[in-house]
Amino acid sequence: MKLKQNSSNKLFTRAQELIPGGIFGHYKFAVREEGPKFFSKARDAYFWDIDGNKYLDLICGWGPMILGYNNPIIDKAA
C-alpha cells in the first residue's frame, strides 16, 4: 500500500536542514522512505501522521500501551 506523504516528505526535507538526521534522538535510525515521520494526533491505540494516514500503534508507546493515547480520564486528572 502506497501512502500519501507529501507533507511528511516536505517537512522531513526541511527538518534535515535543521536537525542532524532530520529527526530527534534514536528515532532517526528507524526513519524509512515509507512510513510515518511526523504525527498530528493520537487517540486510543491509533495515531495519524500529518498527511492524515491512520496507523495502529503496534510498537506500543510505553504509557499508551496501558492507557491508550489521549485518554480523557488521564487528561482530566493531569
DSSP string, 11-73: HHHHHHHHSGGGS-GGGGGT--SSS--SEEEEEBTEEEETT--EEE-SS--TTHHHH-BT-HH
Indicate yes or no: pTM above 0.75. Answer: no
Q: Which of the two residues, 70 and 51, has the higher pLDDT score?
A: 51
What is the architecture, at CATH level 2, of domain 6-77?
Alpha-Beta Complex (3.90)
Strand 54-56 relative to strand 46-49: parallel, antiparallel, unpaired?
antiparallel
- 10-55 per-position pLDDT tens digit: 998 898 899 887 776 665 555 566 677 788 998 888 889 999 999 8
Per-residue pLDDT at 48: 93
Yes or no: say if 38 and 8 are a contact pair by the CB < 8 Å rule: yes
- Report the pLDDT value the prediction gives residue 22, as an integer from 0 to 100: 77
The pLDDT assigned to 30 comes to: 58
Cell digits of residue 23: 529527526
